[in-house]
């Protein structure tokens, strides 16, 4: 059997060969006067039942307070999205860049708060000794990858926001509410990766 990295890399490359025109985005809600490039790390744990490393942001942060998020943040001048995602993961969780086997970048997501987010997919060893930086992370957890990639596990909601109806996905896991930008990035990734093929492999 091929390693998780090999299977995930093959499915990732296969899934990005075709254009998908209807991926989720909040582009129509974005404030054109406030934009910034950002990157997040989609860290998949290399175990028989892989998981995703997710964080909960402190409740006093200006952007997306208290929300579940991927490790990540703004891209500094001169950085690539991959470099920024790895740097942020180290700053937030003490996840060493050398522990991340990067597969590649996936579809950019534009948030309603003005961030153009590039997700970076990578594989990490299981049970890393992660330590949350309290200034940036209130808590972190690992959620099963197969549950998150299966759209049937998500519920869709609507809210009236900034003069229009906004649809968003939501999933509750172990007391954490996963929704908004994080849920949309996961849903878009699920369009690129055939999760049943990943777990059957």
Q: pLDDT by residue (tens digit) across 139-166?
A: 999 999 999 999 899 988 776 666 666 7
Mutual orientation of helices 180-192 and 4-15 as an angle, nearest 10°? 90
Burial of 133 (0-12, 13-18, 19+ CB in 10 A): middle
Q: Where are the alpha helices (DSSP H) in the chain?
A: 4-15, 81-93, 145-149, 180-192, 195-200
The rounded Cα 105 to chain-centroid distance in angstroms is: 11
CATH code of 41's domain: 3.90.79.10
The pTM of the full predicted model, rounded to 2 decimals, is 0.92
Mean pLDDT over the full length of the chain? 89
Number of folded domains that form the chain: 1
All residues at 6 or more sequence positions from 46 whose CB lies less than 8 Å from its CB, including other chains: 3, 4, 5, 123, 124, 125, 126
62 against 78, higher pLDDT: 78
Distances (CA, A) of 93 to 43, 135, 136: 12, 11, 9
pLDDT band at 69 (very low <50, low <70, confident <90, very high): very high
pLDDT band at 32 (very low <50, low <70, confident <90, very high): low
All residues at 6 or more sequence positions from 123 whose CB lies less than 8 Å from its CB, including other chains: 4, 5, 8, 43, 44, 45, 46, 100, 101, 103
Q: Which domain holds residue 131?
A: 4-198
**pLDDT at residue number 79:** 97
């Amino acid at each position: 059997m091929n390693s998780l990295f090999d299977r995930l890399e093959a499915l990732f490359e296969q899934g990005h060969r075709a254009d998908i025109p209807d991926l989720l985005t909040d582009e129509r809600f974005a404030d054109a006067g406030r934009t910034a490039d950002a990157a997040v790390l989609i860290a998949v744990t290399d175990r028989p039942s892989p998981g995703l490393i997710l964080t909960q942001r402190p409740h006093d942060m200006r952007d997306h307070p208290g929300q579940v998020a991927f490790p990540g943040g703004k891209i500094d001048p001169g950085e690539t999205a991959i470099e920024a995602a790895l740097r942020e993961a180290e700053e937030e969780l003490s996840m060493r860049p050398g522990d991340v086997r990067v597969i590649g970048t996936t579809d950019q997501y534009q948030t309603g708060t003005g961030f153009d987010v590039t997700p970076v997919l990578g594989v990490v060893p299981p049970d890393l000794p992660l330590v949350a930086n309290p200034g940036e992370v209130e808590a972190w957890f690992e959620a099963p990858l197969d549950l998150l990639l299966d759209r049937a596990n998500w519920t869709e909601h609507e809210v009236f926001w900034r003069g229009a109806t906004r649809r968003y996905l939501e999933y509750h896991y172990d007391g954490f509410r996963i929704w908004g930008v994080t849920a949309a990035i996961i849903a878009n990734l699920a369009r690129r990766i055939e999760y049943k093929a990943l777990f059957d492999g």
